[in-house]
Structure 1
Amino acid sequence: MDNQTNDGKGFSRRDLLKGFATLPALGAFGYGMFRKWNAERLRQSSIAQELGLNFDEHPAVAPTKSDGKTIRVGIIGYGIRGEQLMRAAGFARPELIDDWKRGAAANANDRRYAEYQEQEDLNIVITAVCDLFDVHAENALAAAANTGRNGVDGEMKLSAKRYRRYTELINADDVDAVIIATPDHWHARMVVDAAKAGKHVYVEKGLTRTVEEAFDVRRAVKESGIIMQLGHQGRQTASYNKAKEIIDKNILGKITLIEVCTNRNDPNGAWVYDIHPKGSPETIDWEQFTEPTDSHPFSLERFFRWRCWWDYGTGLSGDLLTHEYDALNQVLKLGIPHSAVASGGVYFYKDGREVPDVFQSVMEYPDRDLTFLYSASLASERFRGKVIMGHDASMEMENSLTVTPDSRSTRYREQLQSGVVSSDKPMITYVPGKSNVDAVTSATEQYFASRGLLYTYVQGKRVDTTHLHIREWLNCIRSGEQPSCNIDQAFEEAVTAHMATIALRENRKVFWDAENEKIV
């Protein structure tokens, strides 16, 4: 490095010293910090190579347009998540585009508009939308018409039709596949009906509201042969894929304990979503909304904040535990646990909700000599992360990875004694791209960003993970292959989440009878 000049290939030691010298009080100190950082980087690189890891490799750059036939897609549900999914598929409301433009003009670090324009064309058309709230339906139509990714003054191409009932949408001749982003209590019926109609399905988690529905969905998907993807965009996160490589190479040694968590501390993160001022019995089809569950008098809170009630949602288990479980199932192939216990309650948000805002579950895998521990609070943002604990090392697994040797490790005993590695600092760090959150602002968005659920990096370029997950589903429809979060993965997750929920609500330890496929 000292022999390189500033010719576009590198910087000499003299160039670095000159640069640091221009910063008051940082000259020698800054260069010293740089040397320390570079030495640590080289040390970790050497360790990674010795362990057979290549952290310099990058996945291939995605093509600019998906090959194959144009797929005609219907969207069912255009609330918070539905809008995000449609945007990830390439269809954003014109007003949102203009908002992003204003943000970019005011802040050079706001790259939402630039990244959206760079997002790959998935070669689809939105032909149908369905939502029980008139305002959401109208917004979905506007997004579907924005094929040119324009602002309000741009040209729109009206192509989608609004349906009042989802059954009419899935039976439409110009719909090949559906994206389902409704409240959880509608998922099972919609997936089953779509499968019977021969329509491919992308459905958000939780997969089902009841255990019986999970079996119904699996049966329908298997018998129909459709391509189904469960909405876990973490499957596309670069650090999770690298974590699997670390696990496969047995770098952690025997793993006996996993701790994962959810910590959020703002109303939106606790499902206290905004109530739209135009929401009313005249603009919301309440009778249809409550159709799959117990009837209840019209309630704006229940309609817009449905996750807070068992009639419509699946609680912390089905909503947020599933993110953590899926990440670990991805890298460890955990499957359904042998048993589960759970506890929790409504300890902070005394707003009439039924679903706990503090929740814990312990799941046992005796055949793996492994315990999976989940802990959640919606009233504290203390970061705890995902930790996989092995005999030789522990791995913290988020948008970045760190692997730290255990002070009592057998495998690394000599390296620990010689000082090559230390138990008080990582021996491996993997950061796929920048560590800042750029335009991410809300506490909830920061929570998802830190877990790799908003974006990942492809050859150093930031890419929306939801976009990649939808892209994978569409390409599997074209190829006939199975996506990464297919019905088998979805079923394992649904049963696991239901075990935790049943353990909580019935205040007992529950078991999975694998031979008879029953929760007992």
Structure 2
Amino acid sequence: MIPEDKNTSEEEFIPNDNTSPEKKDSVEKQEQTPSKGRRDALKALAGVPIVGAMAYGLFKKKGLEDDKKKQIRDIFNTSGENPIATATQVDGPQIRVGIIGFGIRGKQLLRAAGFALPEHIDKLKEGAKKDSRDTRYKDYLEQDNLNIVITGVCDIFDTYGEEAVLAGANINREGTNGKMGTPPKRYLNYKELLAADDIDAVIIASPDHWHSTMTIDAAKAGKHVYVEKPLSWTVPETYDVVTAVKETGIVFQLGHQGRQVDSHRKAKEIIDNGLLGSISLIEVCTNRNDPNGAWVYPIHEKANPKTIDWKQFEGPQNRIDEYMSYMGKNGLMKYVGPEDRVQFSLERFFRWRCWWDYSTGLSGDLLTHEYDAVNQILGTGIPHSAASSGGVYFFKDGRTVPDVLQTVFEFPDFNFSMLYSATLASNRPRGKVIMGHDACMEVADTLTVKVDPGSTRYKDKIESGLIKPDVPLYTYVPGNSSVDAITSATELYFAQRGLLYSYIGGKRYDTTFLHIREWLECIRDRNKKPSCGIKEAFEEAITAHMGTRAYLEGRTMYWDKDNQEIVRG
């Protein structure tokens, strides 16, 4: 279980308990002439000789510990500021929003925007009844009203489409017996939704192979776009979507909600202050050990050829032909199944992430979260090169994307490498670890810094005993909690990385809510810029494609900065 809510954010400093001989001598000399504080303490304890002596020993020790804490605070002199807005009322005109795709992520996105399925509210209420510490329903009711209305929904599976209508009408955040608002219109084709006059902006949560196409079409229709990661399915369309966003001037946000994680902000501050020293290696990972975490999602009982528009799922023939041509030119046809693409398959419809025909694999689906966090913290941009290895080693279910992957990205301009490693058949926890000459930092839902024994910067403090290298010097805990509902390995994975919640001023926020709110604020105030706009999206997409191409082609891929293209080694 992931703990739930704590009323205050905290920074915890864990000093070394040992005191050097020099420090002890200094303290003993000071004690020969009692200070006023010590005299007052002795006077207060004089009536109880033995207990008083013990109490004074604790009093003295506490004074020494407070002194050490102060010295360590001086070392890690970070701010308590948080630039993430915390307004409780969203001002400005109401924005009319449409959503395309209402599968797993689509439901989460619309819920974060304030529109949940009534049955989800029922579950939250039931959780609160069973445990008074479960405040998820209370937190959801108190979540800011984003001042939007859902006017259109689109999903090519009838059941999901009908659910989207119901969620969009749930303006009061109530359960199955609650009062609903005006239901949004359901569209059977996303282009019809984009043509509607009563839609200002769209949230896109379709499969990967539709992200760029739908974004381009939405931009050309004058709709602002929030699209789930990754930006693109293939390299060529990456450039097309950038062009469309820039030429139309729409407000674009890529769905990396990690941009709102408080520990990432603190990590950036620590690095910018040089407290880790020269960074040489970064390790990030994906470890999950659960069929759901490996994209083997349940197949809906109501799904069949009559309730699913399979032809629209596959896309028009010209897009399929373009993809086949792209894969053929790069000698990658062994990874695609042209015959399978035109045959109805429930497995492919619900588990599309398992095939390159629709997916971007581990690189686009999960590596991008880790890379975007590193790019946010360090401003790395696109790596110089990428080399990958791995394979389908555990899930022998016909998938073509690997379930084990390692990719090494080189950043010579920053003098470090970034290693991504993943397995979908082990739960061994590993966070993002940034290794510097003077200290290493692990970044997840919390942040921990340990000083390196070979540090130059902290050498004197290590030798004096003030700092013990094997004990965390600095721990930043944005928020703790006591109850949460983590229902799968996938949710646990995201929760541990801070991608479900962040704490601001002691209050817990859904990071997806914060990311959508930021996008809407930028639509209302064009002087504001999204934290994961088209520049960051392009960097994410190219990096992921370099890793994927390196794996598929079995060679190192390089980024040609002058010509802005990926080239083979």
Task: Map 1:83-482; keep pairs closer than 5 Å.
Answer: 83-291=107-315, 292-293=319-320, 294=338, 295-434=341-480, 438-480=484-526, 481-482=528-529
| AA aligned opposite 2:415 | D
Q: 1:74 to 1:37 in 2, by over 3 A?
A: farther
Deviation at 1:162, TM superposition (A): 0.6
Q: Distance in 2 between matches of 1:251 and 1:215?
A: 38
Conserved in 2, the CA contact under 8 Å of 1:44 and 1:428?
A: no
Shift in CA distance, 191/44, structure 1 to aligned 2, threshold 3 Å: farther
Deviation at 1:441, TM superposition (A): 3.5
Change in Cα spacing, 1:169 to 1:443, as seen in structure 2 (3 Å) is same
Match for residue 489 of structure 1 among 536, 546, 561: 536
Note closer, same or farther for the CA distance 1:304–1:44 as it changes in structure 2 (3 Å cut): farther
> What is the aligned partner in structure 2 of residue 18 from structure 1?
none
Task: State how far apart, in whole Å, the 2-side matches of 1:40 and 1:303 are.
Answer: 60
Deviation of 1:96 (Å): 1.1
Cα drift, residue 116 of structure 1? 0.9
> Structure 1, residues 227-282: CA drift from partner, whole Å, max 9, x if none?
10000111001100011100110100111100000111111110011100000000
Give the total of aligned pairs.
Answer: 488
1:10: which partner in 2?
A: none
User: In the aligned structure 1, how far is the partner of 2:184 from the partner of 2:349?
Assistant: 25
Q: Which moved more, 1:38-47 or 1:61-70?
A: 38-47
Once residues 66 and 267 of structure 2 are traced to their aligned partners in structure 1, the CA distance between those partners, rounded to angstroms, is: 19
Shift of 1:437: 5.9
AA of the residue aligned to 2:469 = S
- 3-state SS of 1:368 partner: coil
Q: Contact 2:84–2:260 (CA<8 Å) still a contact in 1?
A: no
SS of 1:202 mapped into structure 2: strand
The letter of the residue matching 1:491 is F
* 1:362 partner SS: strand
Following superposition, the deviation at residue 49 of structure 1 comes to: 3.2
* Superposition deviation, residue 132 in structure 1: 0.5
SS at match of 2:530: coil
Q: Is the 8 A contact 2:172 2:180 kept in 1?
A: yes
- Corresponding residue for 2:72? 47
Mapped partners of 2:70, 2:292: distance in 1: 41
Structure 2 contact 355–401 (Cα < 8 Å) conserved: yes
8 Å CA contact retained: 1:263, 1:380: yes
Partner residue, 2:20: none
**Shift in Å at residue 430 of structure 1?**
0.4
1:37 offset after TM fit, Å?
11
Counterparts of 1:72-87 in structure 2, within 5 Å, are: 72-87=96-111
1:130–1:166 CA contact under 8 A, matched in 2: yes
Q: Aligned in 2, Cα 1:444/1:213: closer, same or farther, shift over 3 Å?
A: same
Which range is displaced more, 101-110 or 264-273? 101-110
Query: How much does 1:439 deviate?
Result: 2.4
* Residues 101, 206 of structure 2: 8 Å contact kept: yes
Distance in 1 between residues matched to 2:421 and 2:84, nearest whole Å: 36
1:44/1:132 CA distance change after superposition, 3 Å:
farther
Give me the whole-angstrom Cα distance separating, in 1, the residues matched to 2:484 and 2:467: 33
| Alignment partners' CA distance in 1, 2:174 and 2:546 | 46
Preserved contact between residue 437 and residue 446 of structure 1 (Cα < 8 Å): no
Following TM superposition, by how much is the alpha carbon of 1:369 offset from its aligned partner in structure 2, in angstroms? 1.0
Contact 1:399 1:452 in 2 (8 A): yes
Q: Which has the higher contact order (CA 8 A, sep 6+)?
A: 2
Q: Which amino acid aligns with 2:203?
A: I
Please say which structure displays the higher CA radius of gyration: 2
Q: Which whole-Å CA distance do the structure 1 matches of 2:171 and 2:189 have between them?
A: 25
Unaligned runs of 5+ in 1: 1-31
1:435 to partner: Cα distance: 5.6
Q: Give the CA deviation at 1:61.
A: 6.7
Q: Is the 8 Å Cα contact of residues 166 and 183 (structure 2) preserved in structure 1?
A: no
Residue 42 to residue 278, structure 1, CA distance change in 2 (3 Å) = farther
Counterpart pick for 1:499 among 546, 561, 566 = 546
1:67 aligns with 2:91: yes
Question: Cα offset for 1:198?
Answer: 1.0
CA distance in 2, matches of 1:247, 1:350: 42
Cα–Cα, structure 1 residues 491 and 60, in superposed 2: closer, same or farther, change >3 Å? closer
Report SS of the residue matched to 2:271: helix
Distance in 2, Cα, partners of 1:78 & 1:118: 24
**Distance in 1 of aligned mates of 2:502 and 2:66:** 22
* Equivalent AA in structure 1 for residue 77 of structure 2: G
TM-score if structure 2 supplies the norm length? Answer: 0.83
SS at match of 2:413: helix
CA deviation profile, 1:415-458 (whole Å, cap 9, x unmatched): 01001111101111100110656222422211111101000001
SS of 1:483's partner is coil
Contact 1:91 1:143 in 2 (8 A): yes
Q: Is residue 59–residue 458 contact of structure 1 (8 Å, CA) maintained in 2?
A: no
Q: Secondary structure at the match of 2:284?
A: strand
String of CA shifts for 1:68-110, please: whole Å, max 9, x gaps: 0000000000000000000000000111111211111112232
What is the distance in 2 between the residues matched to 1:102 and 1:314?
A: 38
Instruction: Give the corresponding residue for 2:52.
Output: none
Q: Give me the whole-angstrom Cα distance separating, in 2, the residues matched to 1:50 and 1:224.
A: 48
Q: What is the identity, as a one-letter code, of the residue corresponding to 1:125?
A: V
Comparing 437-446 with 227-236, which one deviates more in the overlay?
437-446
Specify whether residues 296 and 60 from structure 1 end up closer, same or farther in structure 2 by C-alpha distance, changes over 3 A only. Answer: closer
Structure 1 residue 482: Cα displacement: 1.5
**In 2, Cα distance between the equivalents of 1:51 and 1:76?**
45
Give 1:509's match in structure 2, choosing from 556, 564, 567: 556
**Of 58-67 and 421-430, the range deviating more from structure 2:** 58-67
Distance 1:190 1:237, change over 3 A: same
The residue number in structure 1 matching 2:54 is none
Is 1:145–1:159's contact at 8 Å kept on the other side of the alignment?
yes
In structure 2, runs of 5+ residues without a counterpart are 1-56, 321-337
Aligned in 2, Cα 1:38/1:458: closer, same or farther, shift over 3 Å? farther
Cα-to-partner distance string for 1:353-386 (whole Å, 9 max, x where unaligned): 1111100000101121110100001100001111
* 8 A contact 1:194–1:201 mirrored in 2: yes
